[in-house]
Amino acid sequence: MADKSSDSTDRGSESDIHWFHSFAFPDGSTVDGIKSLEIQRAEADLFFESDLAGKSVLDIGAWDGFFSFEAERRGAARVLATDHFCWSGPGWGTRDGFDFAHRALDSNVESLDIDVPSLEPAALGQFDVVLFLGVLYHVKDPYGSLEAAARMCSDQLIIETVTALHFEALPAMRLYKPGELGGDPTNFWAPNVPALKLMLNTFGFSRVEAIPSPVTQDHPLSRPRGWGFETNARKKANHRTIIRAWR
């Protein structure tokens, strides 16, 4: 694991960094992270369907920051990237990728090392658009963490998460055994869409849309209701879902 005591003046090589995000930098160099550029771009088109021009954006759990930099590229007036788990906490990641990309893109994105429960509008203000991407299933307290993301948001909250129990009409969350979901012991909970809608309505969002992530083939939300009978394997399956919610 790389040294977490990142020095933003250390210009280091991108090959020393264990990248999560992929990038194509203006100088023609590229980075192949765990997540492909193709998927990131397809996700960004869904996250940022509404115009970002002049908006303030908070990216919670930004890691290497692809979506923060993408929000800036799409015209956001101010972007704050935050993380803790992978920047200086117990996660295997570091903020070296974020710092490298920040320099390579000559970016004005701001950054703050802060964990989700510590996010407070009294200290940081609210943001027009809040990104809570790929974080919800990693936290032990998904209700409190989503509430923290929600309180930072004055208009639109965009969530990307693993979802489960698509055939349960009641709001519910599935708990995974350590390592059961993707072999990653930092994955705990996956809500179903009714649970996400209930939490978001409770936190003051009047309109909530759930759409299939481009990562998931054959997403239950893509199938017509009442489509055939569901096998136990389908009922147990998890999917990735994008939620767009408005105040």
Ligand X SMILES: C[S@@+](CC[C@H](N)C(=O)[O-])C[C@H]1O[C@@H](n2cnc3c(N)ncnc32)[C@H](O)[C@@H]1O
Which residues here bind ligand X, judged by CB under 6 A? 35, 61-63, 83, 85-86, 91, 115-116, 133-135, 138-139, 160, 186
Smallest distance, ligand X to C-beta of residue 206, A:
25
Q: Which is nearer to ligand X, 138 or 244 (CB)?
A: 138
Helix (H, G, I), strand (E, B) or coil at 53: coil
Amino acid at the residue 85: F
Q: Which two tokens stand for residue 234?
A: 């389908």
Q: How far is the CB of 85 from ligand X (least distance, A)?
A: 3
Q: Which is nearer to ligand X, 114 or 172 (CB)?
A: 114
Contact at 8 Å (CB) between 221 and 193?
A: yes
Using the minimum distance from each CB to ligand X, give the nearer residue, 120 or 230: 120
Shortest gap between Cβ of 62 and ligand X (angstroms)? 6
Q: Measuring CA to CA, which residue among 82, 89, 156, 70 is closest to residue 124?
A: 82
- Cα–Cα distance, 6 to 198 (Å, whole number): 40
- Least distance CB 229 / ligand X (angstroms): 33
Residue closer to ligand X by CB (options 58, 237) is 58
Least distance CB 169 / ligand X (angstroms): 28
| Encoded amino acid at 125, one letter | G
8 A C-beta contact, residue 161 and residue 240: yes
Cβ closest to ligand X, residue 89 vs residue 235: 89
Q: From CA 111, how far away is CA 98, in angstroms rounded?
A: 9
Among left, alpha and beta (phi > 0; psi -120 to 50; other), residue 22 is beta
d(CA 89, CA 117): 14
Name the residue number minimizing CB distance to ligand X: 134
Q: Closest CB to ligand X among 154 and 186? A: 186
Compute the least distance from the CB of residue 91 to ligand X, in Å.
Answer: 5
Structure token digits, residue 219: 């997403």
* Distance between first and last Cα of the chain: 41
